[in-house]
Every structure is written in C-alpha cells, then in structure tokens.
C-alpha cells in the first residue's frame, strides 16, 4: 500500500482486524474489510459452481473466495476458477 494511503485507512483496518480477532493486517484482510468480508460471483462462475458435485461444492466455494480475497479481487471469475482447478487437480478447461 502506498505510504500516503496508510493514514487514511489505518484506523478502519485496525478496527476490522480487531473485530475478526486478527493480529496481523494482510492484503487479504484489507480486501475483506473493503468488501465487507464478502466476495461477489460472476454469473457464469456461479453457474459453474452449481455443476460442482454437492459434497465438494462448499469446499470449492470457500477456497475460491479465499483465493480471490488473498489476491485483492472482489469477484470470483471463471478465469480464477480455472486457475484454482488447474492448481489442485492439474486440469484446465479445454477450448
């Protein structure tokens, strides 16, 4: 974060971290604070999530949202889904 921005968000970030029981403020935590702790989903990404088998769907959703927050992204996209799928399963969508 640029040094000139720090004073503008410091108190809010520290308050949010404290409310979540976090002692370290990371970019992921800042993204959570900025997004109210939530991540939006692209419509197509939501449709694809619906195709994930039920027993795995909740885990996949948590991992995708966690990855988006860690990267400072406010939205889960199909591209992110493909990246995570390739990372964990060595697969990517074909053509």
CATH number, domain with residue 48: 1.10.8.550
Residue 23: domain span: 1-37
* CA dihedral sign of residues 59, 62, 68, 74: positive
User: Is residue 91 domain-shared with residue 67, that is, in the same domain?
Assistant: yes
Segments in the chain below pLDDT 50: 95
* Domain match, 43 and 6 both: no
Judgement on whether residues 81 and 47 belong to the same structural domain of the protein: yes
Predicted local confidence at residue 35, as pLDDT: 65
Q: Are residues 31 and 72 in the same domain?
A: no
């Amino acid at each position: 974060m640029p040094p000139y921005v720090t004073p503008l968000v410091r108190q809010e970030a520290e308050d949010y971290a404290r409310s979540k029981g976090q002692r370290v403020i990371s970019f992921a935590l800042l993204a959570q604070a900025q997004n109210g702790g939530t991540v939006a989903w692209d419509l197509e990404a939501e449709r694809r999530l619906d195709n994930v088998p039920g027993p795995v769907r909740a885990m996949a959703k948590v991992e995708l949202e966690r990855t988006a927050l860690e990267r400072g992204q406010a939205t889960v996209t199909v591209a992110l889904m493909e990246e995570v799928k390739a990372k964990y399963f060595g697969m990517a969508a074909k053509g």
